[in-house]
Structure 1
Amino acid sequence: MTRGHDASPLQTVDRALEVLLSYSATRRDWGVSELADHLGLPRSTSQRLLAALAARGFLVADPTTRRYSLGPAMWHMAALWERSGGLARLAETVLDGLARATGRTASFTVPDGFHVRCIAAIDGEQGPVRSHPLVGDLYPAHAGATSRAYFAFLDPLVRRNMLTGRPFSRFTELTAVDEVELERRFDEAVRQGWARSEGEYDATTRAIAVPVRIGTTPVGSMSLVEPKVLDFPDELDEHVGALQDAAATLANLLSNRQPPPAQRDWRRGRSRVATT
C-alpha cells in the first residue's frame, strides 16, 4: 500500500532508518524506483530519502548507474560502536543470564585471523575458570571447542585454505596437530551442531561451544566453560540446548530481529512458549 505524501519529522526519520535497514548481504544497492516499490513509497519520497542520506555520507550514489550503496558514515558509526565496546556489552546481556542459569562461565568470541578472541565473559557462580580475565584471550583454530565452534562452520574450502600447511602447536596431549584429525573434529562439530573439548587447549578446563550465526554465516562462538577440579550437580553437556538458545538470542540482537515466540527454560532444559 502506498503511504501518504505528507510525513511528520518523526515519520521521516523512521523512513530514513528503514532505508538503511533495507541493505543486507544480498542487497548491496538500490535504485530509486526499486526502493520505492520495496518500501511502498512514492518515487519522489524515495528519491528525497536517498538523496538526503547520501548528502550526510550514509549512502553513496553511483554517478553512472544512479544506484545508492552504503557510504563512509556507516563505517564510521560501526567502527565507533565497536571501539566503544558496544558488541561486548550487547553480548554480556545474554551471557549474564546464561551464566546464572548454568552456573558456568559463559563467553563470546569473534574471529581474529587464525584464532578467535574473547570479547565478553561472565563468570559462573563458582568464580572464574582462570586466574586472569578471559576477555582478550586468543584461542587457536585447532585447539578447543571455543575456536572449533566457529571454524567448523565456515565454508570448508575457506577453512582449508586458511589452515592447510600451517604448523599446529601442541598445548596438551589432547591437542589435534594432524590435519586429518582436525578435519574429523570439525566435521563432528558440524554434524551435531556444537563442539566439546576437555583439555585440548587448557588442561584444567572443559568446554562446550556453539556458533553464533547471522543467517548461515558464523560471526563468532559462544561457550560454557568449567574447571575440571570443581564438582557440579549436573553435566556440562546438559546445557547444550541453553547454549544454543543463548547464541540464537544474541544472533537475533545482532540482526535486529525479534526473538522467536518459543524460548527455552535454561534451568530445566526444556522449551516454554512465551505468554502475552
Structure 2
Amino acid sequence: MEEKKSHESVRAVERALEILLAFRPGDDELSAAELLTRVDLSRPTLYRLLNTLEQQGFLVSSGEPQRFRLGSAVAHLAHVWITGQSVAELAQPMLRKLWEATAETVALFVPDGVYRLCVAEIQSAQPLSFRRGVGYREKLVLGASGRSILSQMRLSAEELGRYISDSKPDVARLLTELETIRTQGFATSRHELIEGAVAVAAPFFNGADQVAGSICIFGPSVRVTDERVVLFAELLRHEAGNLSRALGQQARQVLDKAGSRS
C-alpha cells in the first residue's frame, strides 16, 4: 500500500511538471482546452493539478473561461538558476586558482531558501577524493559551505529555527558557532556529511554587501590536516574577496570585513 502511494505521488509530480513544460516561448496564457492538447491527461486530473500549481504560486489564472499563465514561483526558480549561472562563470578563475594551489576538490555554493545549491565544482585529480556535483542541494545549517553562508545572515534564535533540520537542536550552541565563523571568516566541518571528509569554506558577497554564497574546499582527512586547514582558510578568504569584488562589493567593505576577522 505504501509503495503504491509513493508511486502515485511521483506520478502526480511528473504530471504537474508536464503541465509547466507545456508552456512554450510566446505563450502568455493558455486555456485548459489548449493545455489538454499538449498533455496526456484527463480533464479532472488536469484541473486538480492546475489548482495545486496555482496554490503553490507556479500558475496564475484569470478570466472566464479560465486562462493560465506562469506564476511568481517559476520566476523565483529562474532567478536562482540565472544568478547561479552568472556567479559560476565569474568564479571560475578563483576556483581554478584554489584547485591548482590545493589539488583538492573546490566547489561554489549559492543560497536557495533554507538550502544551498552547488553551481560549480572542480574535482580533485587525486585517486582518493570527494565530490558533490553541480546541482547538489543541502540545508544551510549542515556542513561548512552552508554554515559559512548562514553565519553572515545574522539571524536571531527565533529566525534560526526555520533553518534547523535537527529535531532537538542546541540553538545557543549553533548561534555561538555562527558567531565564531563570522568573526574568523571561514567555517570547517569534519566527518559531518561524508565520513572521512574535511571541508573548509568562506563566504562571498554581492554589491549590496549581502552574502551571495560560499566557496568550499574539501578532501580526505588523511591529507587535509589541521595545518592545511589553516592554509586553505587563508586561500579561501583571499579568493572569496576577489569574487566579492567581481560581484560589485566595494573595496572598503572588503577591507572592513577582513579587518573584523583579524
Q: TM-score range by the shorter chain?
A: 0.5 to 0.7
Distance 1:101 1:206 in 2: 17
Cα distance change, pair 164–79 in 1 and its aligned pair in 2 (3 A): closer
Cα distance change, pair 90–228 in 1 and its aligned pair in 2 (3 A): same
Aligned to 1:35: none
1:82-231 aligned within 5 A: 82=82, 85-126=85-126, 129-130=129-130, 133-157=132-156, 160-164=157-161, 168-169=165-166, 177-214=169-206, 216-230=209-223
Distance 2:179 2:225 in 1: 29
Distance 2:181 2:249 in 1: 27
Root-mean-square deviation (CA), in Å?
3.5
CA shift at 1:166, angstroms? 6.0
Cα distance change, pair 83–113 in 1 and its aligned pair in 2 (3 A): closer
Cα distance change, pair 133–177 in 1 and its aligned pair in 2 (3 A): same
Cα distance change, pair 233–217 in 1 and its aligned pair in 2 (3 A): closer
**TM-score relative to the length of structure 1:** 0.54
Q: Which structure carries more helix by proportion?
A: 2
**For residue 140 of structure 1, what is the amino acid of its counterpart?**
K
CA shift at 1:118, angstroms? 0.9
- The secondary structure found in structure 2 opposite 1:255 is coil
**TM-score relative to the length of structure 2:** 0.57
2:247 counterpart (251, 254, 265): 254
Distance 2:102 2:126 in 1: 11
% same residue: 24
Distance 1:80 1:222 in 2: 17
For 1:168-202, what per-residue CA distance to the aligned partner results, in whole angstroms no more than 9, with x for missing partners? 248xxxxx932122112111111212111112222
CA shift at 1:237, angstroms? 2.0
For 1:99-148, what per-residue CA distance to the aligned partner results, in whole angstroms no more than 9, with x for missing partners? 11122211110001111111111123425733x64211123222211101
Cα distance change, pair 84–178 in 1 and its aligned pair in 2 (3 A): closer
Distance 1:165 1:138 in 2: 17
Cα distance change, pair 88–127 in 1 and its aligned pair in 2 (3 A): farther
CA shift at 1:227, angstroms? 1.6
Query: Which consecutive residues of structure 2, in runs of 5 or more, have no partner in the other structure?
Result: 1-74, 252-262
Cα distance change, pair 101–80 in 1 and its aligned pair in 2 (3 A): same
